Amino acid sequence: MKSYLAAAIQMTSLPDLEKNLVEAEELIELAVRRGAELVSLPENFSFLGTEKDKITQAEAIAQQSEKFLTTMAQRFQVTILGGGFPVPVNSTRVYNTALLIDPSGNELARYQKVHLFDVNVPDGNTYRESTTVMSGTQLPPVYPSEQLGNLGLSVCYDVRFPELYRHLSYKGADILFVPAAFTAYTGKDHWQVLLQARAIENTCYVIAPAQTGRHYAMRHTHGHAMIIDPWGLILDDAGDTPGVAIAEINPARLQQVRRQMPSLEHRVFV
């Protein structure tokens, strides 16, 4: 593993596949111009609309999202995480899928989101992700990269389930991806502290691309895509507008923190 720059992209995705992919490409290019070798896109990067529209367009969204990720990785010669897009299971259900692609366009890892967001948020919004999304049945993977470190996958609501990240750290993760479309109401109180907790307790870098702003109707997300170091320090925060958080992933810093706070070695229950 070497030192390198990673990017967490922040978008305001809409119910418009083509427009979203144009915006995503512009932000990927911006990140690459700034030196990023690892680029991550948020949950719902290619489409953020009603559940009905998502299901109606799911096949096209899945096909174009995968093609887009492959094309971008090859064009810009970077490793890219597509943080979440629908992949059809049948005519009424999809998997919320995160996909990691290398600079040659090869699939490195795929994760189907396990924890689904079925919540009555106190701001009056109700979310029932399980009405259209099928829960994944496999723990998320850790992809071992000699150049970039061991990359652990997750998606959004997973961040509230620390046992999932314990699994990733047990499997040797150095970096934890948390691509999200966090609600504005919960995000203001919980987003940053949950990300910092996952970084601190697992002594890992956290890379969290995010959605921000208003997408359709009442759907409003928190923003603040960020990169956090293994001590819990926020290295960069994209704020509440579309853009890029970018920071150095440094193996020497990772080892320093793990020497200073060797909590992973002190685990009693594994």
> In this structure, what token pair is assigned to residue 42?
């948020």
Maximum alpha-carbon separation in the chain: 52
DSSP labels, 175-204: EEE--B--BHHHHHHHHHHHHHHHHHHHT-
33's enclosing H/E stretch is helix 17-33
- Decide: 7 and 42 in contact? Cβ < 8 Å: no
Distance in angstroms (rounded) separating the CA atoms of residues 33 and 26 = 11
> In this structure, what token pair is assigned to residue 26?
């512009």
Of 43, 54, 66, 204, the catalytic one is 43
Is residue 43 annotated as part of the catalytic site, yes or no? yes
Distance in angstroms (rounded) separating the CA atoms of residues 241 and 65 = 23
Question: Shortest CA distance to 226 belongs to which of 77, 7, 4?
Answer: 7
> In this structure, what token pair is assigned to residue 191?
């987003």
Of 23, 37, 66, 113, the catalytic one is 113
CA angle 119, 122, 123 (to 5 degrees): 110
Of 37, 54, 66, 156, the catalytic one is 156
Question: Shortest CA distance to 83 belongs to which of 71, 99, 60?
Answer: 99
Distance in angstroms (rounded) separating the CA atoms of residues 257 and 251 = 10
- Decide: 100 and 79 in contact? Cβ < 8 Å: yes
Residues with a catalytic annotation lie at 43, 113, 156
